[in-house]
Structures are given as C-alpha cells and as structure tokens.
Amino acid sequence: MDFTPSERAVLGQIRVLFLEASGQVFRLRELTSRWPVLHHSAYSGGYAGLVKMGLIASSADGQGFSVTSAGLKAMAVAPVAAERASTSAARASTPAEATAHGPRDAPKAPPGGRYAAFFAKVLRFGR
C-alpha cells in the first residue's frame, strides 16, 4: 500500500498506542494529543485516509477508533506466533529431514571464537 506521509505518521502513532495498550479500541483524544499543533490538519487528513482505506474503524460517536485486521497487518503487528509454528512444522515435516541438518543439542562455538575468526579475515583483507 502506498501511504501519504501524514497517513504513515498517524499509522506509526497508532502502532505505538497499540503496543502500549492491551486492547484494540482507543479514544481519539489519546491519538490527537500526540499530534503537533502545527500539523494537526495534516494529521487529521491522514487519519481520515486511514479510515477510508479500512485500516482503522471510527466509532459511531466519533470519540474512539479501533484497529482492523488490515490495520494490524499494515502496522506489522499481526500475530506471528501461529505463523512461526506453522513454518517450523512445514520445514521439518519428517523426522529424517529434521535430523538431516544436525542434532539440535550440538555444542555451539563460543562467541569469542566467531569474533576472532571474523577479525582475522578482516585483518587479512586489509593487507
């Protein structure tokens, strides 16, 4: 989706509100209090654009709004736990495929060893 700068700014502010709160329904006053006074008209246009796109739904009394599922996807805060579970299950669909990449309990190299190898390559590159 292509957003105007004001729509992008308002969507970012709604994202912050969403991450701070526990629900999906907010008072419009919470959002407008974050808007700079000089940019209030531009931000209100951005808010109206987001309502028109269906990313947020305004309440009947005009005092609140809620984030729609399309809005959650646009803000990149859609539930990803279910996605991760399905992709990991799809990746290792058979036990043979799961063990083909090596045991999961294999000891990992200490972080210092990785850094030393990296810096050794970097130092050789400069010579």
pLDDT in tens, 2-55: 888 999 999 999 988 888 887 778 899 989 998 989 999 999 999 999 999 999
Categorize the per-residue pLDDT at 84 as very low, low, confident or very high, splitting at 50, 70 and 90: very low
Range 99-123 average pLDDT? 58
**Confidence check: pLDDT of 126 > 80:** no
Model confidence pLDDT, tens digit, residues 103-112: 555 556 555 5
CB-count exposure of residue 76 (10 Å: 0-12, 13-18, 19+)? exposed
Distance CA 40, CA 9 (A): 12
CATH class of 5-74: mainly alpha
- Using DSSP, state whether 110 is helix, strand or coil: coil
Enter the tokens of residue 106: 């294999």
